[in-house]
Amino acid sequence: MANHLYQNDLPDGLDLGPIIAIDCETMGLNPQRDRLCLIQMSSGDGECHLVQLTKGQTRAPNLCAMLEDPNVLKLFHFGRFDIAALYNAFGTLTAPVYCTKIASKLVRTYTDRHRLRTLLQDLVGTDISKHQQQSDWGAEKLTDAQLNYAASDVLHLHKLKSALDAMLDREGRTEIAQSCFDFLPTRAKLDLAGWSDVDIFSH
């Protein structure tokens, strides 16, 4: 495993392939209040590419081009938060997307355990550490422990997607899952617009 850390944007010409696993680190869990600090990405080859942002940064042309590329599938776990954080920071709406948490909730109805660590243990046979989850991601210099933690959240998502795709197909829920993924960017925009705790589909 190797980590590649960049400042402010992805380098010119970097091609991470047709399916890119993405995760974000922020200063907190409110995407409107808490700034985006780090974006980590992997093409599923054991390499992690991380972009550290400067406070107040609103542009990352190469990163945003990838986020909007209709030919690149962006793979998340709980994409609702990350898509909102990215949109709030750059005004770029990420699509198309796939969310392993949504997929899990659609097929693993025998459990209420849908955290990434649990899914990787159960479906991929991999254990990841969450020790650095609540560290200071706004620090000017990130530690190796922080970078390794951030990388662990994306390095195994391709394998997890494959396992969940097989379950979605087995249970006949691939089509409804795709509809949920397609709606996810709009769900993120609703969160930012003030409807995060309101079910607009209820009576």
CATH label of the domain that carries residue 61: 3.30.420.10
The verdict on residue 127 lying in a domain is yes
3-state secondary structure of 74: strand
Q: Give the pairing type, strands 19-26 and 73-76.
A: parallel
The verdict on residue 156 lying in a domain is yes
Of 149, 160, 45, which Cα lies nearest the Cα of 101? 160
Show the domain range for 120. Answer: 2-195
The verdict on residue 200 lying in a domain is no
The pLDDT tens digits for 42-68 are 999 999 999 999 999 999 999 999 999
Cis status, amide bond into 185, omega within 30 of 0: no
Total structural domains within the chain: 1
The verdict on residue 201 lying in a domain is no
The verdict on residue 66 lying in a domain is yes
- Among all chains, which residue has been given the structure tokens 């390794």? 148
Tokens of 182: 């397609």
The pLDDT tens digits for 72-95 are 999 999 999 999 999 999 999 999
Q: Judging by beta carbons within 10 Å of its beta carbon (0-12, 13-18, 19+), is residue 26 exposed, middle or buried? A: buried
* Reported pTM: 0.96
